[in-house]
Amino acid sequence: MFDLQRFFATSGQTLAYSIFAGLLVISIHGWALAFMSRTLGDRGPQHDGRLTFNPLVHFDLVGTFCVCLAQIGWIKPIQIDVTQLRFGRASIWMVTAGSLLILVFSANLAWQLRPMLVRHFPGGMPAVVAVGVLEAFGKISISYALFNLIPLPPFSMGHWIAAFRSIPSYRLKHYWLWLTMALGLIIATGLPRLANPFVHYLQNILLFNW
């Protein structure tokens, strides 16, 4: 049974915060993945124009929809050539995990900015909106990073299984639409909510307690 209430039973303000925060998440993660790949020797993502914070470059229709509304999602696939990485296939761990660590660090930094905004703009609408977006960004980032540790496409760690099984990128691209649609339907059922206690625990540890 599809849990569409999970997606749409929310206020317009909360939805707006989630959309802005979701776009920020895919922007930072897309840039970070390209940056880590470039740092470890593969210039391909840079030549493909992925070394940017422009969310439109990293936009995947299903993945972005899911991250904005369900805190789980992914970016448009980035082509990483493991033969160009300094440490070969082993480097794919550094590229993918490093990009997610950058996202989590950014989320924590954003979370720490909230008190500053409240102090300098007490009661001001811009501060209220900014704090709402930063809070949504922090929470979405942790959930997004956690699910992107799953070593299956279209998640970030899917690069690992593709690299170690020597799956050509064009083959993954051929099945990308079907993979994302299937995962989108799974998310719509609400099944990933079973991980909510663990997600909330990580949010408390990585955001509230720092």
Q: Which one, of 80, 75, 84, lies nearest residue 24 by Cα?
A: 75
Interval 16-65: pLDDT, tens = 999 999 999 999 999 999 999 999 999 999 999 999 999 999 999 999 99
pLDDT at 8 over 50: no
In whole angstroms, what is the distance from residue 189 CA to residue 6 CA? 9
Task: Compute CA 75 distance to the chain's CA centroid, rounded to the nearest angstrom.
Answer: 7
Residue type, 179: L
pLDDT digits (tens, 9 = 90+) for 155-196: 999 888 777 766 655 566 667 788 888 998 999 888 888 899
Cα end-to-end span (Å), the chain? 38
Tokens of 167: 């799956």
